[in-house]
Amino acid sequence: MPRRKPGLSPLSPPAVTWCVMSDAEEHKCQDLAGNATLHNVRGTLLCVRGLHSRDCMEKIKSGMADAASMFVDDIYAAGLCYGLELAAGESRNGVGDCVPGVQDPQHDPRGTNPKNLCEACIGDDNDRHICANNPRERHFGEAGAL
């Protein structure tokens, strides 16, 4: 359950602090927070900047943040190294998805991952780096679900 942040009135609705790791992710978080306020959603969404996923894990562990979006390998590390638990996940059916990096040798050493996991990827402005596990793929990181 969200807790009350220091400095907020005891009568204030609870706040959730989301740890973000990029300018685009921070912008998306702030947009979501503004839209929640605009539509009278009870509670407050606060956005705090982390340097990288491990920094966000530290912030969650220390109580400076409540949540963050992470990739599967980061979720594993969050549980193993920081004792954190997954609160929500995304289930994909593998049709028309964009899973950046799914065909990189690091994530698919045998080359057996389904090709349709990159079907919805769009790459960069020059139609290169499609399905790349870096910001050149426009669906990488913050461009997905918050």
- Contact (Cβ atoms closer than 8 angstroms) between residue 48 and residue 64: yes
pLDDT per position as a tens digit, 24-43: 899 999 999 998 888 888 88
**133 within 8 A of 140, measured Cβ to Cβ:** yes
Task: Determine contact, residues 6/36, Cβ cutoff 8 Å.
Answer: no
* 8 pLDDT higher than 90: no
Residue 103 pLDDT class (50, 70, 90 cuts): confident
